[in-house]
Amino acid sequence: MTEFNGFTLGEYGLPGPLRDELVAAILAGAKTATSSLHAAYGDEPLPRVGEGEILLDSAGAPVAVLRTTDVELRAFGDIDADFARAEGEGFTDVAAWRAAHADFWREHPLSDASLVVTQRIALVAVLGQPITRAHPADAAALARLEAAPPAQVAARVAAFPECHWVLRDDAGIVAAVSGFATNRRDLTDDMYADAAAHEPDGAWQMIFSVITDPARRGKGLATRVLERAIADSRARGRAGLVLTCKDELVGFYARLGFVDEGTSASTHGGVAWHQMRLSF
C-alpha cells in the first residue's frame, strides 16, 4: 500500500478507460463504495475507518481526497444489491456485479466463500477546486473561500488534509474550517500561499478560514466545526490555535476561548484584522 504524508494513494482499476470511468464516478458522487479481494492484500494492512486517501488518475496525478467511512469483510456470495449499486459502475443486479468482479479478479481462485473487503468512501475535496466544491451537491451551498484561488486550496488539501474540518448534511457541506500547523507564533499573510510551510508537528494550529452556508448561519454550525478543530489540535499536542478576524467577530471567537491580541500585521483582503489565540 503506497502512502504520502500518511494518506494512502488510491488507484482504482487499471490505468486507462477503466480507471478514468471509476474516477469520474467518484467525482460525480455516483461511486461511494469499492471492493477488493482480501487475498490480494497479502501482508498489507486493510483500509481503516477514518483513513484518508488521495485519489490518483490514469496519469498518476492526484485528483481528490477521499475518506473511508466503513470497512467490512464479506463473503463474495454475500454481496447484496445495495452494495453493488453503491459501487457506481452501473450494475443493475448482484449477478452483474459478481460477473464483472470475477473477471477482474480472475488471477485468484474464487468461490462464494472468498473474502471480499468492502469499503465505503466519502469525497472530501476535489483538488483544483475550492474545498467548498467538494461534491456537486455543495456547489450552491457555500461561497468560494475568501481570497483563496483554487490552486492554493488544492495545494493545501494535498499537503495537510488533516487540517481541514468539514460538516455535512444531506444537501452537502454546511460549514468548514481550514488551516495549517507551524512553529511560528503569529499568522502572517505569506502562509496562505505557501502550503509547503506546513509543519505536521508544529506547535500552533493556524486557522485560515471559517465558513458557513449563508442560509444556515445562526445555527451553531461553525461553532461545532471549530470545537472539533480545537479538540483535534489538543489531541495532536499543539500549543493552541491562532486565527485572525474582523471587529464584528471578536466576541464570537472569545466565547470559544480565543483571546484578542490586538491588530494583526495582516493586510489580507485589504482590511484590518484582529489576531486571536486559544492556548492550551
Closest-CA residue to 95 (of 115, 74, 77, 110):
77
Mean pLDDT of 124-140: 47
Q: Which of 123, 155, 177 is the last residue of a domain?
A: 123
Q: What is the DSSP letter of 145?
A: P
User: For position 168, which CATH number holds?
Assistant: 3.40.630.30
Closest-CA residue to 54 (of 19, 17, 14, 5):
5
Give percent above pLDDT 90 in the chain: 39
Q: How many residues does the chain have?
A: 280
Mean pLDDT of 185-213: 88
Mean pLDDT of 14-23: 89
Question: What is the three-class DSSP state of 150?
Answer: helix
Higher pLDDT, 159 or 86: 86
Which amino acid makes up residue 122?
Answer: A
Mean pLDDT lowest among 38-47, 204-213, 235-244, 263-272: 263-272
Give the structural domain span for 201: 141-279
95 plus 199 within the same structural domain:
no
- Provide the terminal-to-terminal Cα distance of the chain, rounded to the nearest Å: 36
Higher pLDDT, 88 or 8: 88
256 plus 153 within the same structural domain:
yes
274 plus 192 within the same structural domain:
yes
pLDDT of residue 274: 94
Mean pLDDT of 77-89: 93
List Cβ neighbours of 135 (8 Å cut-off, separation of 6 or more). Answer: 29, 123, 172, 173
The answer to whether residue 40 scores a pLDDT higher than 90 is no
Query: In the chain, how many domains are there?
Result: 2
Per-residue pLDDT band for 148 (boundaries 50, 70, 90) equals: low
165 plus 254 within the same structural domain:
yes
Beta strand pairing call for 240-245 and 204-212:
parallel
Mean pLDDT of 146-168: 67
- The C-alpha atoms of residue 183 and residue 205 are separated, in whole angstroms, by 9
Q: Which of 69, 93, 123 is the last residue of a domain?
A: 123
175 plus 202 within the same structural domain:
yes
